[in-house]
Amino acid sequence: MVSMKDIAIRCGVSVATVSKALSGQQDIGEATRQRIVRAAEELGYTGNSLARALKTNHTYNIGILFSDLSNSGFMHEYFASTLNSLRTEAERCGYDITFISNNVGHQSTSYLRHALYRGVDGVVIICADFRDPLVQELVNSEIPVITLDHTFNNRAAVLSDNMDGMEALVRYAYEMGHRRIAYIHGNPTAVTENRMTGFYRACEALELTVPPEYIEECEYHEPISCYHATKRLLALAERPTCIFFSDDYSYIGGSNAILEAGLRVPEDISVIGYDGIHMAKMLSPKLTTWQQNTTELGRIAAARLIERIEHPRTTPPEHIVVHGGLLEGETVRRLD
């Protein structure tokens, strides 16, 4: 590994001079700078982030914390897509990304310890169990943190408009003439609870009464349990005319249940998903759903976190809502 020392020797200057020349200080002669920069090129100098970080206390590294309870983690397109744009934005700002787990070396510790050990400048918390004391410890630490789809007091957060999105979907179904609307919601998290709230709020505003048997629970992002929930709904004496699913992916299970029952979408029953994953547009008929703006979620999360890292004083821990949009597919029939 070629270091500043090598360059210094070759140019007959001190290491300090090399450092200054390469980092663009002013108190250096233009001729010397040129010489040094050229030598650095020729020797293939790369720099050493470890040494730099050790001295400056700034690693240009941000940690990602996501513990996938449901083990869907990476598989969930929501996460994959968000992470992708998060990474892109971070790289654009000169930051790299490292995963933070609750073990370092061979033994398990806390997320905070891991973050401190690696010296990350900040952490994005996504898809994690926010009730976990270890997560709380990290959130309450000195390290800048931003959470996705969950809010903590006095901490930055980026949120998808789950409540508004669900409200808009209900209104859409209502406008299409549906009055008997069922909802298979996911198991309780901040996200699914927000959607529930949106659902009930819209129903109330529209003066829709939802019989309790129209509300089913399934595992979020899990088609099998959704399949069973759907079967239960279809077996009801007074069948709903429209079913809301917890998420697009779960709908695969629901779809199977509907087909098995000999029903057609949307002629016999209408369905609505949530997420707007790529697959939703590929299905036939195309799924009507709410498109989350994962690209913006990831981008903003990275950008805001970096803002807070670089300008802690002037950047308040805001809660930013990213809006999605109705993706009108072909799975909701107009009733008259």
Partner DNA sequence: CGCTTTCGGGTAAACGATTACGTAAACGCA
Partner DNA sequence: TGCGTTTACGTAATCGTTTACCCGAAAGCG
Query: What residues line the site for a second copy (CB under 8 A)?
Result: 1, 46-51, 53-54, 59-61, 73-75, 77, 80-81, 83-84, 87, 91, 93-94, 96-99, 101, 103-106, 113, 116-119, 223, 249, 252-253, 255-256, 259-260, 278-279, 282-284
User: Can you tell me which of 24, 41, 44, 56 binds DNA, judged by CB under 7 A?
Assistant: 56
Q: Using CA atoms, how far apart are residues 329 and 21, in angstroms rounded to an integer?
A: 59
User: Can you tell me which of 9, 23, 312, 330 binds DNA, judged by CB under 7 A?
Assistant: 23
Q: Indicate the residue among 199 and 274 with the shorter CB distance to a second copy.
A: 274
At closest approach, how far in Å is the CB of 179 from a second copy? 29
- In the three-class reduction of DSSP (H, G, I as helix; E, B as strand; rest coil), residue 63 is classed as strand
Q: Using CA atoms, how far apart are residues 286 and 272, in angstroms rounded to an integer?
A: 10
At closest approach, how far in Å is the CB of 253 from a second copy? 6
Q: Indicate the residue among 61 and 194 with the shorter CB distance to a second copy.
A: 61
The item of a second copy, DNA, none sharing an interface with residue 83, based on CB under 5 to 8 Å by kind, is a second copy
Instruction: Count interface residues toward DNA (CB under 7 A).
Output: 30
Q: Does 315 bind DNA (CB under 7 A)?
A: no
| Partner residues linked to 108 by β-bridges | 103
Per-residue tokens: 157 = 């957060």
User: Can you tell me which of 24, 31, 238, 311 binds DNA, judged by CB under 7 A?
Assistant: 31
Residue where the block lists tokens 């998060």: 86
Residue 247 dihedral angles phi and psi, to the nearest 5°:
-165, 160
**What's the DSSP call for residue 299?**
H
User: Can you tell me which of 13, 145, 168, 196 binds DNA, judged by CB under 7 A?
Assistant: 13
User: Can you tell me which of 37, 47, 203, 320 binds DNA, judged by CB under 7 A?
Assistant: 47
- In the three-class reduction of DSSP (H, G, I as helix; E, B as strand; rest coil), residue 237 is classed as coil
The item of DNA, a second copy, none sharing an interface with residue 22, based on CB under 5 to 8 Å by kind, is DNA
B/e letters for 266-286, b = 16+ CB within 10 Å, e = fewer, are beebbbbbbbbbeebeebeee
Q: Using CA atoms, how far apart are residues 45 and 50, in angstroms rounded to an integer?
A: 15
The item of a second copy, DNA, none sharing an interface with residue 223, based on CB under 5 to 8 Å by kind, is a second copy
User: Can you tell me which of 52, 113, 239, 286 binds DNA, judged by CB under 7 A?
Assistant: 52
- Distance from the Cα of residue 157 to its chain's centroid: 11
Ordered DSSP codes for 200-232: HHHHHHTT----GGGEEEE-TT-HHHHHHHHHH
At closest approach, how far in Å is the CB of 162 from a second copy? 22
Q: Under 8 Å CB-to-CB from 85, ≥6 apart: which residues?
A: 294, 295, 296, 297, 298, 299, 302
At closest approach, how far in Å is the CB of 43 from DNA? 11
Q: Does 15 bind DNA (CB under 7 A)?
A: yes
At closest approach, how far in Å is the CB of 161 from a second copy? 22
